[in-house]
Amino acid sequence: MTPTERVKSRVLELGFSHVGIARAGTLREESAHLETWLARGFHAAMRWMADRKDRRQDPGLVLPGVRSIISAAYNYYTPARHSSDPGVGKISRYAWGADYHAILGKKLRDFEKWLNDEFPGSNNLSYVDTGPVMEKAWAQRAGVGWVGKHTNLITRDRGSWVFLGEVLTTLDLTPDSPETDHCGTCTLCIDACPTDAITEPYVLDSTRCISYLTIEHREALPDELLPHFENWVFGCDICQDVCPWNEKFSIETDDERFAPVPGNAEPDLSEWSRMTETEFNGRFAGSPVRRAKWTGLLRNIRAVRRGRDGTERQR
């Protein structure tokens, strides 16, 4: 096998559902989109997006001498459904089970070690959602999928229920052809967003996004948006739930670690609202939900209840 074939084979052996390679270089078109997005303030309080924008635009500033970007996707879909019971909350499907940062991070560190052993003298650096890398842009350039109108990456044979990881390498690997956009005229994700966070195709306003507000946002939640939260207390899957590519091509993951922990797919809001900080830390050890912190989760629960009560009074 060629070096490129060996690299791809190894990634798939580690359990990833997709792998592709892109030639490293400055992301000019994507960088222009990023600059406009930042100028509009759509990154909200995520200051790191602006602080490290130069590194996001040029991977050579992250790993000097980088020649290739290896992009990998990992299927996490589980078929459980969110409840419509007003006393039951909703958390994003990706957070039902174990934290993907730890799982994929270990896999990619193992892959880095393999690269170092197989290709002595190469320099390699991996990231899972935490580095200054435009992961979705590189995944599209590597042919893994395309960035949909909801700004999530969509793959042809798994939809958008995938985690992404990237490995920057000084190896000169054969690049794949970029994936093309297959959203067509569909606007289901835009139409379904209850807070109008998708302001136009491929543009997300984080200040209105339920996922951002319930996870990253640390202040009080906007009162005018609360009636539209639909019981989401951690993240939001609405734009992905309505995507036809997910309806047609979702396949249940083989990784049982992403299966719902009991209670996570249908959280009892009354029970969770009484959770102590100690109980929170114990229940969500090794879970993405810890990102919201105990105070944030309780704030979210109170907010969705307040928003729902206000909606019911209006009726």
Same domain (yes/no): 68, 201: no
| Residue 199 pLDDT | 98
Q: Taking 60 as the threshold, does the pLDDT of residue 311 lie above it?
A: no
Do 111 and 221 belong to one domain?
no
Please state, in angstroms and rounded to a whole number, the distance separating the CA atoms of residues 90 and 95: 10
Full residue range of the structural domain in which residue 71 is found: 3-79+94-169
Degrees, nearest 5: CA angle 292-297-300: 115
Task: Give the rounded percent of residues in the chain with a pLDDT score beyond 90.
Answer: 94
20 and 108, same domain (yes or no): yes
Average pLDDT over residues 242-247: 98
Examine residue 235 and state whether it is found in any structural domain, yes or no: yes
Q: How far apart, in whole angstroms, are the C-alpha atoms of residue 205 and residue 137?
A: 18
Count CB-CB contacts under 10 A for residue 290: 17
91 within 8 A of 233, measured Cβ to Cβ: yes
Look at residue 181 and tell me if it is in a domain. Answer: no
pLDDT tier, 315 (very low <50, low <70, confident <90, very high otherwise): very low
pLDDT bucket at 305, cuts 50 / 70 / 90? very high
Final residue of a structural domain among 138, 169, 200: 169
**% of the chain beyond a pLDDT of 70:** 98
In a domain, 117, yes or no: yes
String of DSSP letters for 276-308: -HHHHHHHTTTSGGGGGHHHHHHHHHHHHHHHH
Instruction: Confirm whether 51 is a catalytic residue.
Output: no
The mean pLDDT value for 30-37 works out to 95
Q: What is the mean pLDDT of residues 87-100?
A: 97
In-domain check, residue 180 = no
What is the pLDDT at residue 312? 44
pLDDT bin (cut points 50, 70, 90) of residue 309 is confident
Could you tell me if 20 and 135 lie in one domain? yes
pLDDT grade for 308, boundaries at 50, 70 and 90: confident
Q: 278 and 129 share a domain?
A: no
Catalytic residue among 85, 99, 129, 196: 129
Strands 90-91 and 68-75: unpaired
Mean pLDDT of 68-75: 98
Judged against a pLDDT cut of 80, whether residue 110 lies above it is answered with yes
Do 267 and 197 reside in the same domain of the chain? yes
pLDDT tens sequence across 126-159: 999 888 999 999 999 999 999 999 999 999 999 9
pLDDT at 313 over 80: no
Contact of 207 with 35, CB cutoff 8 Å: no
pLDDT, tens only, 19-32: 999 999 999 999 99
pLDDT (average), residues 180-204: 98
**Each residue's pLDDT tens digit, 122-132:** 999 999 988 89
| Bridge-based pairing state of the strands 68-75 and 18-23 | antiparallel
